[in-house]
Structure formats: C-alpha cells, structure tokens
Structure 1
C-alpha cells in the first residue's frame, strides 16, 4: 500500500514563543481544556514509551488520570511489561496527539510509583466491573490459553464481590507519576513549517523555552 500521495495541510492554529506562559503546566492545562471543549475523544489518552534493560523500546496507549504540580499520573499493573521496563529504567516519554486541533504534546521525565493509599483511593473510584477487571490481568501481558479462562475468572469474581461489596485493591496495581523534565508543544502549520516550543527545567527548577525547527 502506497500512502505517498495522502497528506493534509495543517492550518488551524499558531504557537508564538513570545506569548506562551512561563510555566508549561499552564499551557498544557489550557490545551487540555480546549481539547475537552472541542470534544476530542479521550484527549487524556497518551502513547507511553518505556525501555527496559534490554534497550528495546515499547509503546502503548494509557490514560492520564491527573495533572499534578510536578507531572502527570496514570495507573496500571505493576507486573506488566511496562512495569518491568520502569523498574529497570525509571525514565519514560509520553505523546498526546489531538488530530482535531492539529496539536501534539510530548512529555519526558523520570517515573516512580505514587503512594499506595492514593492508588487505592483511585481504584475504589473506578466502576465496579473495572475493579474486577484489574484482577483478571495478573500478570498483565502474560499468556492465557483462551478467552474462556478470563471470562470464567471474571464470573467468579462477580460472584465473590457483588455490586454492593468492596473489591480489595490489588497490591500489583497502582499509579505512576512522570515528573516532567521537558515538555514540547507542537502546533501543525501550513507547508509543514510547524511550530514547536519546548520547555526544559534547569537546576534552579525554573523553566526555559526554545523554538525548535520543524
């Protein structure tokens, strides 16, 4: 299949280095609010890239669940392939792509588990069946002979923990926070002359900005 003739011209916005806020968090929140207002489907979905000791990168979609004062939070199975990568190499990068706004946000930083009590609080905010689903995925990415095994386990969990019961939070499941060290904002422009502004944090914990070539 040849896609060399398939292309769009990006002409929906501009990104001016002289008018961006001093903090990348302010711009990130503004862009997220605009994505929500424009009804971008799941704008908090992000591609998470990790790399373990084998030096082989892996990428998958996860859902950001919080913007903190220092970074972003997502939740997953600690025994998953990404969890093993993170244990071996506590650095990660994520990418948000909002086609409707012709925008991308790229975040790089160190990554660590959040407090277990905070993970448990979030776990119990999830829909009941999603809580049960977390128990199905142990170990996440592990091999299973067929789908019927998963469905049988789910039915057993529904019997063990009916709707009005408390599902215990698994010890193997919880949150990670990526502490942002650099964050790049990309605005598509005509003729592929895109706007790219990157924020980086210096030793004094202040932010500097640079414009990058497209």
Structure 2
C-alpha cells in the first residue's frame, strides 16, 4: 500500500468548558473562526442523502444561511438529492475544515423552506445564476455542453426585458439537526470530539466521544 505524507495540522486542546451550551452558537464561533483564518469557502459542506432503497449519495453544496431553526441550502427540486430527500428526509452534513484541524458533522432531517424564503434568496442571486436555475434540468442526461449553453442563451433572451421569476422547481431545504459533533485535531490521533444531542424540545446534552 502506498504511503502518503501528511501535513502537520494545528493541534489545539478542546475542553468541555470551552464550548457554548448552545450548538448553534458554537457553530457560529467555529464558522467565524474558519473565515477569520482564511479557510477557503468554509460554507462548502458535504451533504449525504439516501434513497428509500438505502442507496446513499454524497455531494458538495453551499450553506446559505443558518440560525436556531437549522442550516439552509438551495437546489433544483428535481435533482437526485431532492428526490432522495423526498423519499428519506434523514440527511447528514459535513464541514471538512481539515487544514485548520477542525470538522463539524450534523445529522438531522431536511424539509423544504417556504416559497417566500426561496424567493428572497433567489432575488439576491446574480442574474446569470438565476438564468442558470431555469436552464439546468439538474441530474438529467444532456446531449452536450453546447446544448446546455444554447438553452442558457434562449432563457436569457426569454427574460431579457423582465425580472427573472423563481422557478416552481427550485428552492431551499432546511436541515434541522438532531445532533452536531465538533471534532478538533490532536497529536497521535487522540482527537477531541464533542457531540451535542437533543435531550428535549430546546435542550442539548453534550458528551465527549472517544477518538
């Protein structure tokens, strides 16, 4: 088996006393920290979904908002991820900030945000991205790159004298967490791991996990 040399990662102790009792507040602290440390695209997260038959798919999506209600991303409702979420709303998110020695794992359920929320975000997108949402029949087989670009041009012309409306087939999902794990790198693989798990309507239990 080929051996790979590993870079020296930050190794900073993490103790329960350093954690906020609220996992959303703790996420905000780490997310802000990743941005301040110039980690590239800290809002890029891996999303795992599973179909009813158990087939699991993983891809990268972008976190667009988060608050006490959950973590939001947007997509085509006809995409494979959306079809799997409709069959099985149990999902997992991963923020792999490995180069700064941290990662966050979120396990929960996904549900569609309101059309009002989707519209508000859609209107904030660059015009090209709005046209792209209309153009892409996401996850479907296409003839060529050229055919995709031709469809984009036709869509651009269709809306050239008007605002671009929100497609019925496009919008957001909110992942409502049941658990959130914070992982921090330590020497000799003795990493620090803390798991927040719901223990009531608004209460969270925090436990240290073995690395």
Could you say which TM-score interval applies, normalised by the shorter chain?
over 0.9
Which residue in 2 is equivalent to 1:84?
83
SS at 1:124 equivalent: helix
CA distance in 1: counterparts of 2:12 and 2:80, whole angstroms: 38
Which residue in 1 is equivalent to 2:186?
189
CA distance in 2: counterparts of 1:123 and 1:75, whole angstroms: 9
- Deviations 1:134-188 (Å, cap 9, x if unpaired)? 11112x10000111111001111121223x6300110100000000110000001
CA distance in 2: counterparts of 1:57 and 1:116, whole angstroms: 27
Whether 2:176 is the aligned partner of 1:165: answer no
The verdict on how the C-alpha distance between 1:3 and 1:46 changes in structure 2, with shifts beyond 3 A counting, is farther
SS at 2:140 equivalent: coil
C-alpha contact 1:199 1:209 (8 A) present in aligned 2: yes
SS at 2:60 equivalent: strand
Which residue in 1 is equivalent to 2:42?
43
TM-score scaled to structure 2, two decimals? 0.96
CA distance in 1: counterparts of 2:35 and 2:134, whole angstroms: 31
CA distance in 1: counterparts of 2:62 and 2:124, whole angstroms: 15
Match runs of 1:1-214 below 5 Å: 2-138=1-137, 140-162=138-160, 165-214=162-211
Paired residues in the alignment total 211
CA distance in 1: counterparts of 2:38 and 2:18, whole angstroms: 25
CA distance in 1: counterparts of 2:10 and 2:163, whole angstroms: 50
CA distance in 2: counterparts of 1:123 and 1:113, whole angstroms: 15
Aligned Cα root-mean-square deviation (Å) = 1.3
